[in-house]
Amino acid sequence: MWTQHRYQALSARFYEPVELSPSASPSLLMLNESLAEDLNLDPDWLRSVEAVAYLAGNAALPGVEPVALAYAGHQFGNFVPSLGDGRALLLGELVTGDGKPVELQLKGSGRTPFSRGGDGRAPLEAVLREYIFSEAMHALSIPTSRTLAVVLTGEQVARETMRPGAVLARTAESHVRVGSFQYFAARRDNEALGLLIDDVVARSYPDLLPLQGVERARALLAAACARQAQLVARWMAVGFIHGVMNTDNISLAGETIDYGPTAFLDNYNPGATFSSIDRRGRYAYGNQPAMAGWGMARFAETLLPFLADNEAAAIAAAQEALDEMSYAFQEAYEQAFAEKLGFVSVDDRNRELANRLRDLMSEAEADFTATFNALNAIAAGREADLLPQVFAALPAFAAWKADWKAALGTQTEASAVRMRRANPRYIMRNHRVAAAADMAAATGSLSGVLDLLEAARHPFDRNARIDYLAAPPFPEERGIRTTCGT
């Protein structure tokens, strides 16, 4: 069932052993049964006292050494040479139903050697947010870590106020990130970097295994850049804002990890941020492509000794991969918005339509998700009641709609089907997530969380019971700021 984590076979300098910090009285709050079954785990056993002790970090899995991973990172542009898992604990590995290994990590289980004065714990609200958002991203077919379980610790943690403590048990293909490479590059440890290159290729890019040396390093850089470009384009297409794209949060498996001040757009605004600490908008919605490129440029820097025999040639190879990443993002982004408007592929006409629509949405402060749902209804032959009324005051919108309908031509039924697959009805709206998580922490009621999880897992299917979740927020409900929970 469980296997030892692969880092032990690589090098002890990739991690620090962790002495467990048992919590007072752990209890299982939520279990992701579908994920458990995919991992060949018995849900009934996961509810047992024995399993809950493992999931809380109170006991180590038999034969598995719990560790905290070492990494560095640029945090809001400032390099920190040693960060590491300050409140995360790698338990070991599992194998999915289709034979893929995944890592099982606990978040909020207590202090590690990298805690830097923190308590290593997590408040329940932050844990529930990650569960809700990661389930939503999975259902939207966006690569992401997953939540297996939420465990209450029976203790309070001190944040702005005292909050119920909880542990998130999550899986990911890999927890190696750009910061993992930066950690060893800062120490000029090329041997460790070489081991990491081989590990990332074997785990996440097995098609590159036949390559060796310079060819392998260059191919890894190109593939990782392409995967990151695709990921961010898919975020943008559903209005997702990661919120803290520091290099220690950029997964080299191309997954969405470390949900903290995460949110989905309400009104369309390229400058939108939701993080309480992103005061200058570094990681705003519209800045995410540039920040992904910036982060991957930092990854390229760590690979320079492996890309060529001389610095000039290495820099040229790195720049080529980064340029290709920019093209790959633009191509994926334009394709995603073409599909959101009902088109099969991108051409000059629908590219211009997408650009004009975003400009109109920005001018009107139109709700991102509701607008595309309304256009989907129009393509299906219904004039939508969800179409933001503010558009009625914009003569340019009537002209845009006429041009869009003309571009769709007679293929509106097929276009409506494509749009339905590209435009979720339900996103995890920040005010709803905040209210549900706060209610759970304050009263123990999970009703709001369960409604959100239902919507998260079926984002394209209208459900009358929870359709209130599709409504955009009132102006006073916008702009809720979120924190990372540390």
Of 93, 83, 80, 73, the closest CA to residue 7 belongs to 93
- The confidence score (pLDDT) of residue 482 equals 67
- The confidence score (pLDDT) of residue 385 equals 52
**Binding site per annotation, positions:** 84, 86-87, 107, 119-120, 170, 177, 249, 258
Alpha helices by DSSP H, listed for 380-446, are 395-408, 412-422, 430-443
Helix (H, G, I), strand (E, B) or coil at 336: helix
**Binding site per annotation, positions for Mg(2+):** 249, 258
- The confidence score (pLDDT) of residue 393 equals 63
- The confidence score (pLDDT) of residue 276 equals 77
Rounded CA separation 100/364 (Å): 46
Q: What is the C-alpha R_g of the chain? A: 23
- The confidence score (pLDDT) of residue 200 equals 97
Please state the domain extents for the chain: 7-172, 341-422
Kindly report the backbone phi and psi dihedral angles of residue 20, in degrees, each rounded to the nearest multiple of 5, phi listed first: -60, 150
Q: What is the pLDDT along the chain (486 residues), one digit of tens a residue?
A: 667 778 888 889 999 999 999 998 999 999 999 999 999 999 999 999 999 999 999 999 888 889 999 999 999 999 999 999 999 999 989 988 888 899 999 999 999 999 988 899 999 999 999 999 999 999 999 999 999 999 999 999 988 889 999 999 999 999 999 999 999 999 999 999 999 999 999 999 999 999 999 999 999 999 999 999 999 999 999 999 999 999 999 999 999 999 988 999 999 999 999 877 877 889 999 999 999 999 999 999 999 999 999 999 999 999 999 999 999 999 999 999 999 999 999 999 999 999 999 999 998 888 999 999 989 988 888 765 545 555 666 788 889 999 999 999 977 788 999 999 999 999 999 999 999 999 999 999 999 999 999 999 999 999 999 999 999 988 776 766 666 555
- The confidence score (pLDDT) of residue 387 equals 59
Of 388, 429, 390, 129, the closest CA to residue 265 belongs to 429
**Binding site per annotation, positions for ATP:** 84, 86-87, 107, 119-120, 170, 177, 258
DSSP state of 63: T
Of 167, 175, 224, 144, the closest CA to residue 71 belongs to 175
- The confidence score (pLDDT) of residue 485 equals 54
Of 449, 456, 454, 450, the closest CA to residue 433 belongs to 449
Catalytic residue list: 248
